[in-house]
Amino acid sequence: MEKELQVYIDGIYYPKSQAKVPVYDHGLLYGDGVFEGIRAYNGIVFKLKEHISRLYRSAHTLMLKIPLTEEEITEAVLETLRKNSLRDAYIRLVVTRGVGDLGLDPRKCPKPSVIIITDTISIMSSEAKEKGISTVISWVRRHPVDTTTHEIKSLNYLNSVLAKMEATAYGADEAIGLDKTGAISEGVGENLFIVKDGKVFTPPSSTGALAGITAKLAIEFAKNLGYDVAEANITPFQLFTADEAFFTGTAAEVVPIREVNKRQIGNGKPGPVTKKLMAAFEKATSDRAFGVPIYP
């Protein structure tokens, strides 16, 4: 039998089937915690430093003190990957408020818990990459910036789950969320971009969108390719009538959007800017300069 994957919980490794959190953990009771989703490609953990840094920024906002330094948590991620002999992996890093009592007060939670899951990931199909994906704008709004905004990568993802279910129910591949004003914010686990008249636009963080690590890279690549890139409010109309649209994200990488609420985007095929950015991103995932080696 194949050896079971080992999961790191507070410095101890448990087989996947026995890796559990206590029912009094405020991560479960109140969604009180933060997480990161990270990928490793061919022995390199892509943008690990940036993901760890974002984890600490999320935790800082929740006044959640991670009981490890950034260096220690980096080493724990690498060690977990080595323990599982992984080279291509999906890494889920979770920090919960820890065990408390049946009340909201986090002062009752003396010790946050650090969980590191390393597993494989179901990636976007090659068909999605070649033809683009279909999307629906969901009735479920993104969290406003003055609530549990998605600028914080917290354990509150219920609006993403609901929007994803809606997309599935309507036979679409992915959902798009609006902010409170009706402007486009992002996908349920992806940032969104449009291309119009040769210029690239993405919604600002005032829409509650996460500062995506893949998005930041896509912006860099687009600028290097000579395109103007700007943060701008995007209306549903502007999305429907864009020349190109695409998502970026750790799971999605760069993926073309061919349809929004049954409206075809552009000519319905991945556009030239999207294709160039997909190629640039793919090249980056096999470049050691973009990550940290698991096996030095």
Positions annotated as catalytic residues are 153
CB of 203 to ligand PXG, least distance (A): 11
Q: What is the DSSP letter of 108?
A: G
Binding to ligand PXG by residue 210, rule CB under 6 A? Answer: yes
Handedness of CA 217, 49, 192, 233 (dihedral sign): negative
Amino acid at 65: K
Binding to ligand PXG by residue 175, rule CB under 6 A? Answer: no
Give me the half-sphere count of Cα atoms (radius 13 Å) on the Cβ side of residue 92: 12
Give me the half-sphere count of Cα atoms (radius 13 Å) on the Cβ side of residue 124: 25
Window 213-252: contact mask with ligand PXG (x via CB under 6 A): xxx--------------------------------xxxx-
Amino acid at 214: T
Binding to ligand PXG by residue 33, rule CB under 6 A? Answer: no
Binding to ligand PXG by residue 179, rule CB under 6 A? Answer: no
Strands 253-260 and 133-137: parallel
Q: Which of 38, 33, 221 has the alpha carbon at shortest distance from 117?
A: 38
Size of the site for ligand PXG (CB under 6 A): 15
From the list 98-106, 107-115, 128-136, 212-220, the region that binds ligand PXG by CB under 6 A is: 212-220
Window 81-120: contact mask with ligand PXG (x via CB under 6 A): ----------------------------------------
Measured from each CB, the residue nearest to ligand PXG is: 37
Q: What's the rounded Cα separation, in Å, for the pair 80 and 61?
A: 27
For binding to ligand PXG (CB under 6 A), which residues are involved?
37, 150, 186, 189-191, 210, 212-215, 248-251
